[in-house]
Structure 1
């Protein structure tokens, strides 16, 4: 199960690439992507591997305020120049990964997990994936891969060329850590 938060589609694109990589590596795998707003305890409870990803805002996981600021900035750009800015991803206004962690049980008891983020490529950009991995561990998950960051151009995309391929490879590679 791949759970993601995405404001402008970049993190969704990475989540889908991870899913595709898992499916290519293990064609019999039942791999799904869910927006964070759709991923309740019943959806994630039976997953052999839970992969969680989100965008990086202010060097870490998004907050309600950072999501609102990002969406408002893009809306203002589109108002000034309809060809500029990015359209929000479906569900972008909803809860983020940080909020989602409050709603899931803390009793994963060693179930497997991994964390990723999308981030800009500049010095001190930070990343949300390490904090996501810490939260997963705090909920009892065994994090089987180093937290991974995937690069977006500018601050809101698109994904840098080759990042979707790298995400698919990363997804497939986690299967070795999880085993059969």
Structure 2
């Protein structure tokens, strides 16, 4: 399966979670910043995962409940175990 994981990250924490989710997905998982996202009209993927600090899904079919991943303070780094938890969450999306 082909996956695209799109993220928005001010301090690098959401990027780290996106990479862990992609690792959990396995297969052909590409991770891109929202600014580098290809046009959705011609996108050829089996699953699109979108993540950001305050993202809300509008007009999309959710395949899983949204998940939160925690950081120390406002800027991070991620709390211990959160990268592995993100990887496991990504694996559950397959």
TM-score, normalised to structure 2, is 0.89
* Partner residue, 1:51: 49
Aligned-residue Cα RMSD (Å) equals: 1.6
Residues 44 and 50, structure 1, Cα contact 8 Å, conserved in 2: no
Q: Deviations over 1:86-106 (max 9, x none)?
A: xxxxxxxxxxxxxxxxxxxxx
Alpha-carbon distance, 1:41 to partner: 1.4
* Partner residue, 1:7: 10
State the secondary structure of the residue aligned to 1:154. coil
1:108-119 to structure 2, matched below 5 A, reads none
1:77-96 to structure 2, matched below 5 A, reads none
Structure holding more helix per residue? 1
Query: Which structure is higher in RCO with an 8 Å CA cutoff and minimum separation 6?
Result: 2
Q: Work out whether 1:154 is the aligned partner of 2:73.
A: yes
Residues 17 and 167, structure 1, Cα contact 8 Å, conserved in 2: yes
* Partner residue, 1:82: none
Unmatched runs of 5 consecutive residues or more in structure 2:
none
Q: Which stretches of structure 1, 4 residues or longer, exceed 4 Å deviation after superposition? A: none
Q: Based on CA coordinates, which of the two structures has the bigger radius of gyration? A: 1
Q: Tell me, in whole angstroms, the C-alpha distance in 2 between the residues paired with 1:151 and 1:44.
A: 34
Q: Name the count of aligned residue pairs.
A: 91
Unmatched runs of 5 consecutive residues or more in structure 1:
24-28, 56-127, 176-180
Q: Tell me, in whole angstroms, the C-alpha distance in 1 between the residues paired with 2:23 and 2:7.
A: 15
TM-score, normalised to structure 1, is 0.48
